[in-house]
Every structure is written in C-alpha cells, then in structure tokens.
Chain A
C-alpha cells in the first residue's frame, strides 16, 4: 500500500517535472553561465589573487565545463584532451539522468571553488542557482545525477591541475633584489615583493614551453639624454603622471589592479578590482550575450579565452623575470623628479613586457577568431567601479587601447606595450591554429 502510494507520488512528480521544463531555457542561454563566471570573478577580487594566479583559476574551471559540453555536443565541439599538455579525456558516463549542461555548470563551480579561498561565497551562490533551477522544474534526480558527473569531471580536471607545478613553485626561491639601476625594484607606496618570479615553471596549456614566444629584448638601459631608452622613460614621465594628460579615462578603465594600496593620513587601505584577465572574461560574457551565443558556445568562448590568458601570462612572466626591467616610477623618482607619481599604482613585478598588452592581444585574437573582426561592443565591465563604459569597433581595437593605457597610466614604457602586443598576437595565433575545438573549424 505504502509502496503504491510512493510510486504514485513519484509518477506525479515526474509528470509535473515534465510539465515544468523552464529551467532548460536557463541551461540553454549564456546568461546563467556568465552569471556564474561573474561570481567567480567577484570571489577572485575579494580573495586578492594576483593576475597570473587568477588566470589559472579561470582556465581550469572553464576547461572543466568545456570538456562536458564537448561530450554533450560531439557534433559541434572537439575535446581538448590530447590537445592541452597532459590533459586526458574526462570520464564518460552512460547515466541517462545527466543533464550535461547542468553537469558542465557544476564542474565549473567545483573546480572554481577548489581554486579560490572563500569557498562559502561560491557555495552560497551555487546553492541559490540550483534552487532557482529547481524552482523552474529541474528535478532532484537530474540535478543529483548531473552533480555526480560534474564532480567526477571536476576531480579529473583538478588532478590534472595538480600536476602543473603550482604547488611546487610556492616554495621556489623569492627574487633577490639586484642593486644595479637597470633591474626591477619594489615600488611605492607599499614596496611589495615581486609577484610570481617562477611562473614560467607552470605547465603551459597549449604552448610547448614558457619560452616559445620570447619577445625581442628590451631597449638597452641607458640614461643618457637622447638614447632610445631615455626617450621612452621621458615619454612616460610626460604622459603618465598623476597630474593628468588626456589619457586618464583610458588608463583608469584598463587599470585592472587587483590590489591598490592607499595611504591617507594614518589610514591604510586597499581597493580591489578585477585583474586584466578578469576584464577579458567579462568582455567574453558581454560578447556571448550580445551574439546570443548558445550555452555551449558561451562555455566554448570562455574556455578558449581563458586558455589564451593562461599561456599569455606564462609567456609574459617568463620575460618579466628574465629581463627584470626597472619600472619607470623608480627611475623617474631617482633621476628626474622625486615628487612624480604615476597615474596608476605601479604593480609589483618587473616592467617588460606589459602583461595587459600580452594577454589582451592574445584574448582579442581568440575572440576575433570566434566572433569576427568587426564585432563592435560596449564594454561595461568597469561600471561597477564607478567608471563609464567604452565602445569598441572590435576586439583588436580594445586590446590596442588596453595596451596603450599602461603608458597613460605611467607604469610601462612604450617598448613593453608594442612588443607585448606582438608577443600576445603570436601566442593568440599559435593557440588558434593549434587547438581544434569546433567541428566547423
């Protein structure tokens, strides 16, 4: 009797679920995934991850999601297993109750959660998301089965991530400051230690090594008036100072400094923003939304951009800690003007090449390949930080401006921008050529 009643109830439930499948709309639109991305970005900002480490979080979490949708849509997508260094195929499942879009989302959450610190902030958001999906008809069973599979995928990806030498590099030697004037020194106001001097030991995704795209060497250090180096230093002095020079809007828009330290009176405090990589993840969200990409396409775009960012940072950091070029602020304060401050706060790592230039161009090349060279968009990423949106005729234009912003910000010489863009372009093109993800490619 009881059993009968139970079966009846279950049948009712199944029937009612069938009737309410509104959640599937969510699981087919880019908004859900982009929302989850935004939450990940917010936690990254809160937890204070440096730009290279942030790029690692974006990469693994998005690849986890992508590998699931690649399985779900074999007609459209190709797995990255065997294409990315040491990535093996994720486990497959024959469980019919799995909703693969749901599983992809769950894998994304689980990997993201493992790599950030404030897990509770992700968990609350995740629970809330799942709740609302259930309110829109997602059944317990489908949710559970999708989660089980998502967990398996997350485990697989995290195990792969565990082999990228991130853990080992935590105990690699710190940078020993070199006294010669041409080498990087910590900068005011906080004189933070140099960030990630061994990031080039992290296993790249698509590149065969961190040294695959070494940019041309920086200009020889020379403080004699009229030398190329001196001229570039003076250019920063003239256009990049805190007093303003016309480029402030651009500089501030692309600041993307995750930890800006302030000293006011006796008060010290930090303001935190998205990283350069985070900015491009947001541009990706804007793009997928504007292009009305499918859920799967959205994840695909996110994964491709995240991979470009990840390898971009490795290549850039490899050069930064090879040439260890001194920041303009250090030289200007020492030799030209003691009271000069750059418009933006100098971030704590060597100057050459400009990280924003490298990764912006690599991301722009990636997005251009997916959405075309004339994809005009309004970049609203910085509005939550009180800045106006900016409009671009295409991704390359945006990356060009991001790169140039470092000169207006007073934190990079022109050489780091030009050669950084070139470096990013080579990385982006290489990855575009190497990784086959779309069947239509």
Chain B
C-alpha cells in the first residue's frame, strides 16, 4: 500500500518533471492519458449505411461539458461521442480522472450525439446533464436526453418528464433565464440538411420546420413548454445552426442570443425584448458575417466594457490549401444570392468588435480571420495577464470542398465503378488534419499567433472544447474532444511557470442565488489600478460545449482587485472590494434588487445631431449597376463607384451656404439652395445626367463676383474618348442659376477623380489641378492628370509643363493645395494608388517635379493638411486602405500588381499578388485567372500543382520578369509629420485602420479653437475575394492637452454608415454642421 503510493508519487514526479523540463517554454502541455486516466476517443466508423455522403455533419465531432457533479470542489468532465458511448469523468485531483460512465448511467448508447451541457435543471443544487442528439433522420433514433443527478454519482434519464425529449437534428442546448424569473429556459439549436430549398429565397426562414428549426422552451414550474411560435425567432429548414452564444448585448438586463448558421442563411442576433419575444437585429448592427458560420463565442476581448463576438468559418491560412479549396462565389452570383434576401457573408472568421450597439468585423486587422476548418472559438485569459486570449479548435477528416476532388477525382471514381461504395468514394477526398490555434491578445485590437510557442502543436482534428481550472491552481486548462484519436486535457502551466508568483495573479469567482442555486448571466466589472475588465458568466461557449459556471479573472502583475461591480440577473448591483489576488470568492445574489432594473447609466453624450430630415434634404445617390469586374475580372477594385460629388458655397449671395450634389450615371446632379427653413431643390441638371459626377467645386472662374461650378466626371465606364468622359463647367448668372459653358475646358478624356484650385501663376485667376484615376478598361495604366491654367476666365489651357510634371503621377485619387514649406505659395500634394504621397513644391509661381515624401507606396485615397503636432508648420493626414484586409503590405512583403499581356490578345492581364507565409502568391482564384488566360490550364489543369507553384512558375520566369509592376508597401492611414520638410510617418492606431479612409475634415468640433478632425470612408467596390471594406463608422480625433486624441464612437455617438465619399463643412441656420455624401445612399447633414 505504502509502496505503491510511493511508486505513484514517483510516477507523477517523473512525468511532472519530464514534462516541465522538456517543455518548460510551453504554456500548455498535453497531459498523458496514463496520468489523466482519460481514455476517450470519438471514433467514427464511416459505415456504408451512414457517412459524410448520408449526413452532411458526419465530421462535426463531439462536445465537452464541465461541471462539479458531486460538489467536491473539483470540476468533472463529460465527453460526447457521435457513435460510441459518451463518457463521464470524475475529477480526483491533480489532473487525475476516473471514468464513472457505467456507474452514472450516462453513456447515451447509439448514434448520434452532439452538444452537451452540465447544469442544474431541476433546482436541487446538483448538476444534471443534457445531451443533444440527431434523431428522426436516416434511421437515427432516440431523442435529446436529460440526466437528472441522483446525488450519488448516478443519474436518471428524465427528458420526457421535463418536456425536454426533443426529437430532431439538435446541435446544442443553451439553458438561460429568458425572462429573469429565476428559472432556466431553453434555446435549442438545431440544424438543417440539404434540400432543393436550401438554395432558395431567404423568406423560407419564416416557415417552421419540425426537425431542423431552432426552439425556445419556457420553464413553467419545472416543466418545459415549446413557445417557439410566440417568440419571434426563426425556426426553419434553412437554419443550419452550428453555434449558440449568450450575452446581454444591449445591457438591458435580459439575455440575448447569437446564433451562427452554416451555408446561405444569415446568422441571427436576437435581442431579448424582455417579454419572451426576441427581435432579430443583426442586419441593423453588423454589415456581414461569416458564411459557413460554425461555433461562436461572446466576450469583451478589448476591455472596453462592451461584449464582442467571434464566429468561425473555414478559410485556410495555408495558401496552398486555400488555392485548392472552393472559394467565394463570383461577383454576379454573390449579388444574386444577396437578392434572395441574405446579408453579405464571407467565408472567413469574423471578429465583431462592439462599437456601442454597432459592430465592426476586424478579424483581418486582428489577424485571426483564416484558421482553416474551425469549430470552437474560446475567448479566455489563458496567460492571466488581464486580457482575454483566443483558442480555436480545428480540422476535418476529409475536405469535401477540394477542387481537384470535385472536378477530377470524383468523376474518375464514379466512372471506374458505377456501384461505387460511399466509403470508397469518400476515401479519395484529401485529409484536413490541421493544428489548433492559440492567439495571445496584443492589447491593440489584434492578436499574435502563439500556436507553436504555447504548446507543442501537432496536427489533429479537434471539435468541441471547453476551458476550466481543472487542477484548481488558478489558471485555465483546456479540454479537447478530438476526432478519431484520444481526447486531451491541456494543462495550463502559467501558474507553475510563474516562479515569482507575481506575473499571473488571478481571482476566481462563483455566483449563487440567495438559496444556493447557481446563477447564470451575472456580469462582472473588475477594476485593478485603473484597468477595467468586463465579464459575463455563461456556460455555453464555442462549439457543442459548455464550461463550468464560474469565472477566473487574470490580473497580471496586480496583486489585488480594487473593486468588483457585480450586476445580478435580478437587477441587483453590488460594488465589492478590495480583494487580494489569488483566492476564490463566492457571492450570493441579494434577495431583492438593490436598484431598479435598468441599463447602466450612459457615460456618453451625443456630440452630433442628425438634421437631414429637419432640413428637408432627401437626395439619395443611386449608383448605376455597371460592374467593372465583368469586363476586368482580375482587378482588385472598381474605379466606377466614386460618387457622389459634392460642393458647398453661397451661390446666390444671400449669406447662406448652398450645395451641389452630383449623381451617378443616369442621375442628374442637383443644386440645393438654403432658405430659412431648410434646403430647397433649385436646379436639376437633367440634360447632363449621363455623366457620373465624382467631384465638384464652386469658384469664381471669370472674376465676375459669383461662384461658378466645375464638376469632375468619373464613372470609368465610357471609353475611347467618349464625350461622356469629359468634365464640365457651369457658369453662375449671379443669382445662383447655372448654365453649362462649352469650350472652357480642353477635351480631356479618361476617368476623373478630383479637382483642386489655386492661382498657381499669381495672375489673379484660379487655376485647376484635375486628377485622374483610371484609363477605362486598363486598370493599372497611368492616366494623365493635368494642371490647367485659367486664361483670364475665358478658358483653361493645359500648362506647358503639365505633361512632364504628371506623366508618372499614377492613379490619382486626391489632390490638395497647401503651403508646406512656408514660402507663402501653396504646394500641390497628390494621393494616388500604388504611389507614395507626392508633393510638387511651388516656388516663384512654378511647380517643381513631384517629390515623394516617403518611400511608402500605398493605396492613398485622400490627404489633408493640419498642424498635427502644433509646431507651426502643416503636417499631412493621409487616408489609406487600412489594415482590415486580406491584403497586408510591408516594405519586405509588398502587395503587387503585375501588368502584362501574357496571352497576346491585346489586353493587359493584371495579376495581383500578396505575401502569405513569406512567399509571394497570386491573390485571385485560379478559376478567375484561367477564365481570362485559358492557356494556363495547359500548364495547370489540376489545382494542386497550381497551388504549389510560384507566380514565376505559373507565368514563366521571363514573362513574369518582363511584366510592369506596381507596388504597395503601406496600407495604414496616418500622419506625415513635417519636420522642416522631412516627413515622418506616424500611423494611426488600430481604431482608425478598420476600413478605407476616403474623407478627412478638419474642424473645431469641441470649440476650443484648436482644430480637430473627423475621418470616414468605407468602400464596397472591391472583389468578393477581398470583401467589402465597410467596418468604419467615422473616426473623430479631438484636441486634448496630450494632443489630438481618438474618441470612440460610443462616446460621441456619431455612427456614419455606408460608403462616405466626402464630408464638407456647412453652416446651416447659422450653426456649424457637416454634410456627408455617401455612395449609393442618402446625403446626410449633422449639426455639432
């Protein structure tokens, strides 16, 4: 007895020491089954009668539920098995477990089990077990099961008694208190299987389906009743529910729901109305979701007190796998599916940052958008530093979306053997075994991939996962349900490795009701040395899994929490503290609310007021349906959706600001005159509606004392010197009536972008810089921008040195006149695609050659001058693509566009490349490439060989080298600080890199006589593979004592939606306001 105990100790010691010695640098170590005694594997038999061909979620795997079933202070584990028996493990301490499945009677024989939870359903303070099943489909039998805990490590299946014996295609259950009445209700997440309707209209979501539709069951005196029909949730055969998350998104005290749906159907965000009904609100709160949404998790990862959402998809990080897999739909098909009533969805993970009731998907900025075939995301502070990290489980037995399989292999198989067995058929699919991901929170809205440094990572298939402190040492361990191999405990060594016990402090909290029942949905704010964290205590997280009902807060170096604010589900709010770190605390819910149930007091104060309706402005820009990708399918973005043009001035001399807004093709421009009560539509430029207006400016051309109008034509649709490409001038008759003046401008074709005026030669007349962005049909070719000299108001002529000056100006997006060198003459600053910002200095009334202010070539969109550092000279704010893109660029790894007529058909073939895994790689999918260049199929008919080939190999080294090359190394927006004519780039922080910046306006918003600025943008004219850039709501920088400072939208409450092209200052009714011109949307006006 004694002897064996010593042996046992020795074994533990040896294992332990080996483990720590060998893997000291890893944060996690996989506990060997010999030690943990966990011998669970979710093995799939792949029988002829039931496999991936019969059931589309055959490879989705099992789940994990964690809870303390015998109240011994040690957390126990339940694994679900799809086909075999579930297994229940009793925690014996020191990460040793005992399989008590048989004794407990919770094996749940037979197929097909999915999600699991441990929760006290009958209110006896003992954790019960709920098991979801797929039944009533293809011969699968049974129903969802509820195992009531008898208190002696045995359980009694009682689903029928409680009304929880649902028979259908269940994925997971989420117990939650829907109406805050103190008992647990149920959201049952179910999934569909393919039918002809799966591809149909979105309104099918209104039709209830008994097997696949999600359900809500209300707990009425201990029994559950299906009230789905009355709740307003969707319960249809197009809902492929793979993830359910709980959170109080709008902080009204009621638990809301996030449902991730696979395939065509949208995800749902159900706001709880508090009366047992829900309102789907995602389309109002977000712009897009993952497409094949799988598991999700909801937590505040950036410690701003607002909960964020992650949903997973299946975009591979590995470029070779990506190129072999089915990608996004072609542009027209994508559009058509939208027209069926679905929202934008992209096949990649989304990380929805909560901006205060509106979300921004920043997954690409955060660096976590591509983790391959991913199941379970878990936000948790794995290193106890006070910031939630991210774990993502991964892998699929076989990849059904392998293009070679679909196009070539399957056909051979079918032909070779007409009566081919499913198994033989499936066996040809390539395997999809990949590593799990760990991401460490970088505290700047981004994450660092630490998969290889936090664990000795091996490729395997992991589905359901849950975290919990299994060894009660104060850090979160992980339980992984692996497919076709042993499941694992990942022991977290953070505490063990923190030998000084100073860098990984923690607090562990549990919440009970006054009568000892565990409580769900408690919200906790913790404050330590001014650092805030926000947590919600819900159990269902990730995929088919549920963690323990407790909270571990990492505190890093902080040895104490100064205070905790606890918001209880019954409305009670408590402030508690101070608490020393590294202890467990238990709190009881006050019996009655201490405060009335109400949302927490708003800290924000609206700075802006929407005056659009009050001022009677009802102009909606209507972009015409021209799709540039249909004629140039390989380009990264269109140049044909750049309107509306807008310009503000007092054109009738009554002292009030008026404005012109120009339409897209087939939409006439309009002149709005301000009167005392608002704006009056004064002139419609009907005869010129064929022109697409992209910029406009009022100025006095002939020095006759009134303001004339120049409108820049864009559109990029007409070509071959069509008159519809020409910009126009309208002269003012002095009373604000405009008529077109022919012959004032030279005939300059190609696609215009911007006009900027300045009297360059000092003759008293305003001259023009006319910037152009594109040669129609020839993306990447440099159009000619021009300086046009005003010939005493009679006409404009191309300046003699214009061609020379701007020959290499490139695809110009914006131009600005500003005196950067303080010589009293304004210099010309140019922002262009694939170029650095350039300056033509003005000396002695002459422009210099354009000088690059830095080497950073970008997709520069706009530029403004401001004395940012308040040192007396002008600095430049420059708007760029931002960082929230699949395209990431740096000096070492630029994004490039190669231009060459590779197939000699008199048409340039633009090939976009980027760097992935340190290798230059072609961005556009092979299918698009070979449509334009079919000859490439001769070299690469299959996808595998193509995917493994460099661009040089694809096109041939000589051809590739001979191509003209455009580059971008910098996609961040930021400030070029003027240091005596040297410009140093200071990028903005990540809050201002979420989208393309298109407009910057400098105004004194807070009226402290120091200029502030507002930037906005977004851009939808990108390829589907890139996705829309839609995630910015406008970024306001306010002058404070420490300089210009970013103010979150949730504070100033201005949310600019859509594609902002221009923001112009305007005085309305004597007060300052901004006029916002948006592509394909209404013009708005906001007072401040």
Bound-state Cα–Cα, A119 to B401, Å: 27
**Given A188-B196, A270-B407, A338-B200: A170 and B52 within 8 A (CB)?**
no
Across the interface, do A386 and B53 meet the contact criterion of CB distance under 8 Å?
no
B486 contacts chain A at the CB level, 8 A cutoff = no
- Decide if A266 is an interface residue (CB 8 Å cutoff): yes
Dominant SS among interface residues on chain B: loop
Contacts of A384 in B (CB 8 A): 415
Once the chains bind, are B336 and A185 in contact (CB under 8 Å)? yes
Q: Is B208 an interface residue (CB 8 A)?
A: no
Residue of A nearest to B940 (CB): A117
A177 within 8 A of B: yes
Contact present for B336 and A186 (CB under 8 Å): yes
Residues A177 and B53 in contact, CB atoms below 8 Å apart = no
State whether A117 and B937 are in contact (beta carbons under 8 Å apart), knowing that A193-B333, A268-B401 are contacts in the complex: yes
Q: Which of A174, A189, A264, A386 contacts B332 (CB 8 A)?
A: A174
Give the one of B196, B337, B339 with max A CB within 10 A.
B196
Q: B59 to nearest A CB, angstroms?
A: 7
Asked, given contacts A117-B938, A118-B941, whether A339 binds B410 with beta carbons under 8 Å apart, the answer is no
- The answer to whether B400 and A267 touch across the interface, beta carbons within 8 angstroms, is yes
A173 to B931, CA, bound (A): 11
CA A135 to CA B1086, docked complex, whole Å = 89
Interface assignment of A94: CB less than 8 Å from any CB of chain B: no
Q: What is the CA–CA distance of A185 and B337 in the complex, to the nearest angstrom?
A: 11
Could you tell me if A170 and B631 are in contact, using CB atoms closer than 8 angstroms? no
Residues B194 and A167 in contact, CB atoms below 8 Å apart: no
In the complex, A292 has a CB within 8 A of chain B: no
Residues 246-287 of chain A, each 1 if its beta carbon lies under 8 Å from chain B, else 0 = 000000000000000101111111111000000000000000
Residues of A near B587 (CB, < 8 A) are: none
Whether B605 is near chain A, meaning CB under 8 Å from some CB there, is no
Is the pair B195, A339 in contact by a Cβ cutoff of 8 Å? yes
Known contacts A46-B408, A168-B906, A188-B199; is-contact A174 B631 (Cβ 8 Å): yes
B892-947 contacts to A, CB under 8 A, are 903-907, 931-934, 937-938, 941
A93 contacts B by Cβ under 8 Å: no
Q: From known contacts A171-B932, A191-B329, infer whether A266 and B407 are also in contact, taking CB-CB under 8 Å.
A: no
Interface residue from B335, B400, B903 paired with A167 (Cβ < 8 Å): B903
Asked if A179 is an interface residue, CB under 8 A from chain B, the answer is yes
8 A Cβ contacts from B30-52 to A: 51-52
Q: Which of B58, B905, B938 contacts A168 (CB 8 A)?
A: B905
Given A48-B407, A271-B411, A174 contacting B53 (CB threshold 8 A): no
Tell me the minimal C-beta distance from B581 to chain A in angstroms. Answer: 48
Residue among A186, A188, A265, A339 with max Cβ neighbours from chain B (10 Å) = A265
Specify which chain A residues have a CB less than 8 angstroms from the CB of B629 in the assembled complex. Answer: 174
CB-based contact B56/A266 at 8 Å: yes
Measured between beta carbons, the chain A residues less than 8 angstroms from B633 are 174
- Chain A hits for B193, CB < 8 A: 265
Closest chain A residue, CB of each to CB of B419: A386
A175 within 8 A of B: yes
Per the bound structure, the CA–CA distance linking A189 and B196 in Å amounts to: 8
CB pair B406–A268 under 8 Å, yes or no, is yes
- Can you list, as one digit per residue, whether each of A296-329 has a CB less than 8 Å from chain B (1) or not (0)? 0000000000000000000000000000000000
Contact A269 B406, beta carbon cutoff 8 Å: yes
Contact A172 B631 (CB under 8 A): yes
Judge whether B627 is part of the interface by a CB distance below 8 angstroms. Answer: yes
Beta-carbon contacts under 8 Å, B595-638 to A: 625-627, 629-631, 633
Using known A-B contacts A168-B907, A340-B196, determine if residue A270 contacts B411 with beta carbons closer than 8 Å. Answer: yes
A193 and B195 contact, Cβ closer than 8 Å, known pairs A267-B53, A267-B426: no
Kindly state the separation between the CA atoms of A272 and B416 in the bound complex, as whole angstroms: 13
Whether A267 lies near B429 (C-beta < 8 A) is: yes
Q: Give the residue among B337, B405, B937, B941 with the most A Cβ atoms within 10 A.
A: B941
A61 interface hit (Cβ, 8 Å):
no
- CB neighbours of A399 from chain B (8 A): none
Question: Do A167 and B904 have beta carbons less than 8 Å apart?
Answer: yes
A348 to chain B, nearest CB (A): 10
Q: Who on chain A is nearest to B207 by CB?
A: A338
Q: How far is the CA of A247 from the CA of B631 in the complex (A)?
A: 41
| Residue A222 at the chain B interface, CB threshold 8 Å | no
Chain B residues positioned under 8 Å from A186 (CB to CB): 332-333, 336
| B410 pairs with A270, CB closer than 8 A | yes
Cβ contact within 8 Å between B199 and A171: no
Query: What residues of chain A lie closer than 8 Å to B406, measured between beta carbons?
Result: 261, 268-270
Give Cα A189 to B941, complex, Å. 24
Query: By the criterion of a CB under 8 Å from any partner CB, how many residues of chain A are at the interface?
Result: 42
Q: What is the bound-complex CA distance between A421 and B513, given in angstroms?
A: 80
Does A333 reach chain B (CB closer than 8 Å)? yes
Is B55's beta carbon under 8 Å from chain A?
Answer: yes
Cα distance A117–B194 in the bound complex, in angstroms: 34
Q: Whole-angstrom distance between the alpha carbons of A305 and B599 in the complex?
A: 79
A208 at the interface (CB under 8 A from B): no
Q: Please give the distance in Å from B291's CB to the nearest CB on chain A.
A: 14
Bound Cα distance A83, B290 (Å): 58
B414 located at the interface, meaning its Cβ lies under 8 Å from any Cβ of chain A in the complex: yes
**B722 sits at the interface (CB 8 A):** no
Taking CB atoms and an 8 Å cut-off, the chain A residues in 180-199 that contact chain B are 185-186, 188-189, 191-193
Please indicate which of the listed interface residues A117, A175, A384 has the most CB atoms of chain B within 10 Å of its own CB: A117
Closest residue to A329 on the B side, CB-wise? B196
A-contacting residues, B780-811, CB 8 Å: none
Distance in Å from the Cβ of B131 to the closest Cβ of chain A? 23
Whole-angstrom distance between the alpha carbons of A261 and B907 in the complex? 33
**Contact bitstring A187-215, B, C-beta under 8 A = 1, else 0:** 01101110000000000000000000000
Q: A386 to B418, Cβ gap below 8 A?
A: yes
Residue of A nearest to B411 (CB): A272
- Expressed in whole angstroms, the Cα–Cα distance for A271 and B405 within the complex equals 11
Residue pair A269, B414 in contact (C-beta under 8 Å):
yes
Q: Are A266 and B59 neighbours in the complex by a CB distance under 8 Å?
A: yes
Give per-residue flags for A115-142: 1 if the beta carbon is below 8 A from chain B beta carbons, else 0: 0011100000000000000000000000
Given A118-B941, A268-B400, CB of A179 within 8 Å of CB of B407:
no
| Minimal beta-carbon separation of A56 from chain B (angstroms) | 11
The complex places the Cα of A78 from the Cα of B625 at a distance, in Å, of 52
Minimum distance in angstroms from A42 CB to a CB of chain B:
10
Question: Does B341 sit at the interface, judged by CB under 8 A?
Answer: no
Q: Is A47 part of the contact surface with B, judged by Cβ < 8 Å?
A: yes
Question: Within the complex, which residue of A168, A177, A265, A341 is in contact with B54, where a contact is CB–CB below 8 Å?
Answer: A265
- Chain B nearest CB from A269 CB (Å) reads 3
Does residue B330 face the partner (Cβ distance < 8 Å to A)? Answer: yes
Q: With A and B bound together, what is the CA distance between A263 and B52 in angstroms? A: 11
What's the Cα separation between A188 and B195 when bound, in Å? 11
Contact assessment for A170 and B933 in the assembled complex, using a CB-CB cutoff below 8 Å: yes
State A219–B375 Cα separation when bound (angstroms): 51
- In the bound complex, CA of A171 to CA of B626 (Å): 16
A338 and B196 form a contact (CB under 8 A): yes
CB of B776 to closest CB in A, whole Å: 12
- B-chain residues with CB within 8 Å of residue A172 when the two chains form the complex: 631
Q: Chain A nearest CB: distance from B1080 CB in Å?
A: 16
Distance of A53 from chain B, by nearest CB (Å): 9
Residues of B within 8 Å of A264, CB to CB, are 53
Query: What residues of B have a CB within 8 angstroms of the CB of A338 in the complex?
Result: 196-197, 200, 204
Give per-residue flags for B132-163: 1 if the beta carbon is below 8 A from chain A beta carbons, else 0: 00000000000000000000000000000000
Q: Is B988 part of the contact surface with A, judged by Cβ < 8 Å?
A: no
Given contacts A48-B407, A170-B905, A340-B196, 16 further A-B contacts (CB under 8 A): A46-B408, A47-B937, A168-B907, A170-B903, A170-B932, A176-B332, A188-B199, A191-B329, A265-B55, A266-B52, A266-B56, A266-B59, A267-B53, A267-B426, A270-B406, A339-B196
Give 21 pairs: A residue, B residue, CB < 8 Å, sorted on A: A47-B937, A47-B941, A48-B407, A117-B941, A118-B941, A119-B938, A171-B905, A174-B627, A175-B630, A176-B626, A177-B336, A193-B330, A265-B51, A265-B54, A266-B58, A266-B59, A267-B426, A268-B401, A269-B406, A269-B414, A270-B406
**Which A residues form the contact surface with B (CB < 8 A)?**
46-48, 117-119, 167-168, 170-177, 179, 185-186, 188-189, 191-193, 261, 263-272, 333, 338-341, 384, 386
